[in-house]
Structure 1
Amino acid sequence: MKILVIAPSWVGDMMMSQSLYQTLKAQWPQATIDVMAPAWCRPLLARMPEVNQAIAMPIGHGSLALGDRYQLGKALRDNHYDHAYVLPNSFKSALIPWFAGIKRRTGWLGEMRYGLLNDHRRLDKTAFPLMVERYIALAYEKSKVTGAADLPTPLARPALIVSEREKLETAALFSLHADRPLIGFCPGAEFGPAKRWPDYHYAELAKQLIAKGYQIALFGSAKDNEAGAEIVARLTTDEAAHCTNLAGKTELDQAVILLAQCHAVVTNDSGLMHIAAALGRPLVALYGPSSPDFTPPLTDNARIIRLITGYHKIRKGEADQGYHQSLIDITPTQVFTELEALLATVREHECAS
């Protein structure tokens, strides 16, 4: 069986989609799974053993580009795919498999996709509360899976592969010290300050961890570099010697490798959180208006801190510098305590095994 997946365009959603690939492979071990996704996703897809190849999606997010989509679909016809899975809910995302003439096209209904999808499912959000459940459910006949309770347990979880050689070489490339265990901070978030734990809290936590003998690496994109610089600026000269701002200075693949080397990760609800979870890193995840009831880190080695319940407006915080008050109210001491407890639990499990 040859399968084409039209993948999501966000880092976190891309990582959660691996659970679908794993589920498909479990059912059809000989299946070939190709994934069409933005070119920047290639480093992630290359570390997913279930994926045969990544096919670059050259059309920008949000652009219809009907003619270009037709040409892409036409070019895929020679691949003779048996089945397509369309993970985004937009009308335009379902066009390429239809243009490619793929006989079976599966996805959740959205934006008038009748016809484009001929194996469509109507989403009951209460029946599938987690995003990852919605992806995995597409691997099964819709008559057999009407809710999350029908899915096999445990659910497949994303898992990226990184070699020890890659870890050592990349750490040396960025002058990270071997004499101090590494804690990763992911202080950015796609929707800006409203989903971010304040920079001054990250700085205070860095002080506490550096005093305990750790070193800190700050991860993120170029737009997170300023937040990283603010964190470093709040440290003393001696403390700053043990805190490296890597935001915007690494390629995505390098960030993945360095996160794999982290002793633990402290992170906002972000794409990097899902990468750290897929790498099996112990992590403390900090949530404000977004909810772990929808997109939690998919790992047993996580502590989630959230002081509010329910859904809240994400795109704009109402407190100082655009932060959400519920994230301001999470104290560095609280995070430090949770992190120490998590690492103690991990050490106990390692000793027991």
Structure 2
Amino acid sequence: MDPILLVGFPAVGDFVRCHSAIRILAERFPDRPIDVVTAPGNVAFARFMPHIRKAWALKRQPMELGLAERRNLAGELRKENYGSAYLMTSTIKAALIPFMAGIPERIGYPQELQFGLVNRLPTGWLRHLWAFGPRKTRLYEEVCSIVTLGAKPMANVDWPAPQMIIPAAELDDWRSRAGVEADKPALTIFTGDMESPRSWPVERFISIAKDYSDQGWAVWIVGGPREHNTANRIRAGVPQAVDFTTTPLIDVMYQLGASALFLGVNGGMSHAAAALNIPCVLIFGSNLSYLHAPVNEHVRLLEPPISTPSWIKDTLGVSEERVREALAGALEEARHPQSA
């Protein structure tokens, strides 16, 4: 049957959340291959997502239309004879790709009034579009609604959570290359950009890292250039911690997959860890976890107390004590899931 193209988001966390939509499509159309279009950095993530046959890279150009690059990509896509395209990101720039590729069925919400570029709209699209506003509908719900054409999940049945799987042999190979002890548990920390209100005070990360290091755990700090300075500060307080913020993106997946426990803030690494089924404790600002957090069941979410004014977006109200309790609980649940 004709393959399906899914045009995803460029940001890591948003792209990972699109896997819920892919799982729905794979169940509905088991005989149709599914490919995705996303940012170049996400191609490394796509290979660990079940049901994705191929990932096409499209460079992100926030201030430009990027017509030439889209035309070139459309030429390659045309050769694949896609029958349907599902547009996760409801923009004109995204809708141009399947239109230029000649894909006959182009499904999505016309958030930028791209009628014609999008030629099949989910049921109740006008009401749903109005509900979006400034992302009032969760992205998880939005992408699932697109691929189900506006249908709601049946009673007592939830849409699937994102899922990522790393082959055991690849993890073993990475451990060998990185000199990682397979029998030593690792606490992986994702601090995010310390200049962002999404993050958590570095002194608290250091305190948690020291606790686990003193208990014989490995402590790994993951991320990219934005997290590198913070990694240096954590290592200054906990010299045994390992800074993985300068490694290739593909290695970050192995670092997450080899973790026993994950502590992070709102960001792409946290969504990837959750999709990999790692026990997670994630810290969010006030009233933000419902909209932005992963929906995987094994994720524990911490926000400032409800007495904190809703307009305070930082994470200062989340105490070290609550984080320690949540980490211990997540680990206990992972070890004894039936008793949790």
Question: TM-score under structure 2 normalisation?
Answer: 0.89
Cα deviation, 1:283-332, whole Å, max 9, x if unaligned, reads 10000157111122222112110015697586xxxxxxxxx3xx123222
Identify the residue that residue 229 of structure 2 maps to in structure 1. Answer: 226
Aligned-partner residue type, residue 230 of structure 2: A
Indicate yes or no: 2:273 matched with 1:276: yes
Judge conservation of contact 1:129–1:293 (CA < 8 Å) in 2.
Answer: no
What is the Cα-based RMSD across aligned positions, in Å?
2.5
Identify the residue that residue 107 of structure 1 maps to in structure 2. Answer: 108
Aligned-partner residue type, residue 244 of structure 2: L
Identify the residue that residue 139 of structure 1 maps to in structure 2. Answer: 147
- Structure 1: how far apart are the matches of 2:154 and 2:310? 26
Structure 1, unaligned runs of 5 or more? 315-323
Aligned-partner residue type, residue 216 of structure 2: G
Indicate yes or no: 2:325 matched with 1:337: yes
Cα deviation, 1:82-114, whole Å, max 9, x if unaligned, reads 111111122111111111121111111222211
Aligned-partner residue type, residue 274 of structure 1: H
Judge conservation of contact 2:37–2:56 (CA < 8 Å) in 1.
Answer: yes
Aligned-partner residue type, residue 207 of structure 1: K
Q: CA deviation at 1:78?
A: 2.7
Judge conservation of contact 1:70–1:96 (CA < 8 Å) in 2.
Answer: yes
Identify the residue that residue 53 of structure 2 maps to in structure 1. Answer: 52
What SS does the aligned partner of 2:288 have?
Answer: coil
Distance 1:66 1:152, change over 3 A: farther
What SS does the aligned partner of 1:119 have?
Answer: coil
Aligned-partner residue type, residue 247 of structure 1: T
Aligned-partner residue type, residue 52 of structure 1: R
- Structure 2: how far apart are the matches of 1:221 and 1:256? 12
Judge conservation of contact 2:153–2:159 (CA < 8 Å) in 1.
Answer: no
Cα deviation, 1:131-166, whole Å, max 9, x if unaligned, reads 111111112233xx2xx5558823212111112222
Identify the residue that residue 175 of structure 1 maps to in structure 2. Answer: 179
Aligned-partner residue type, residue 40 of structure 2: A
Identify the residue that residue 214 of structure 1 maps to in structure 2. Answer: 217
Distance 1:341 1:75, change over 3 A: closer
Choose 18-27 or 117-126, whichever is displaced more.
117-126
Judge conservation of contact 2:90–2:109 (CA < 8 Å) in 1.
Answer: yes
Q: CA deviation at 1:350?
A: 6.4
Identify the residue that residue 242 of structure 2 maps to in structure 1. Answer: 244
Q: Give the number of aligned pairs.
A: 330
Moved runs in structure 1, 4+ residues, more than 4 A?
A: 148-152, 308-314
- Structure 2: how far apart are the matches of 1:116 and 1:284? 41
- Structure 1: how far apart are the matches of 2:167 and 2:78? 36
Judge conservation of contact 2:333–2:339 (CA < 8 Å) in 1.
Answer: no
Identify the residue that residue 129 of structure 1 maps to in structure 2. Answer: 137
Q: CA deviation at 1:178?
A: 4.1
Judge conservation of contact 1:23–1:136 (CA < 8 Å) in 2.
Answer: yes
Judge conservation of contact 2:286–2:304 (CA < 8 Å) in 1.
Answer: no
What SS does the aligned partner of 2:179 have?
Answer: coil
Aligned-partner residue type, residue 157 of structure 1: A
Aligned-partner residue type, residue 138 of structure 1: I
The percent identity for this pair of structures is 22
Structure 2, unaligned runs of 5 or more? none
Aligned-partner residue type, residue 329 of structure 2: A
What SS does the aligned partner of 1:293 have?
Answer: helix
Distance 1:233 1:30, change over 3 A: same
- Structure 1: how far apart are the matches of 2:263 and 2:35? 33
Question: TM-score under structure 1 normalisation?
Answer: 0.86
Aligned-partner residue type, residue 185 of structure 2: P
Judge conservation of contact 1:285–1:302 (CA < 8 Å) in 2.
Answer: yes
Cα deviation, 1:218-271, whole Å, max 9, x if unaligned, reads 000122110111111123xxxx22x111112x2122111121111110010110
What SS does the aligned partner of 2:86 have?
Answer: strand
Judge conservation of contact 2:35–2:56 (CA < 8 Å) in 1.
Answer: yes
Judge conservation of contact 1:195–1:289 (CA < 8 Å) in 2.
Answer: no
What SS does the aligned partner of 2:116 have?
Answer: coil
What SS does the aligned partner of 2:264 have?
Answer: strand
Identify the residue that residue 160 of structure 1 maps to in structure 2. Answer: 164
Q: CA deviation at 1:174?
A: 2.6
- Structure 2: how far apart are the matches of 1:182 and 1:220? 16
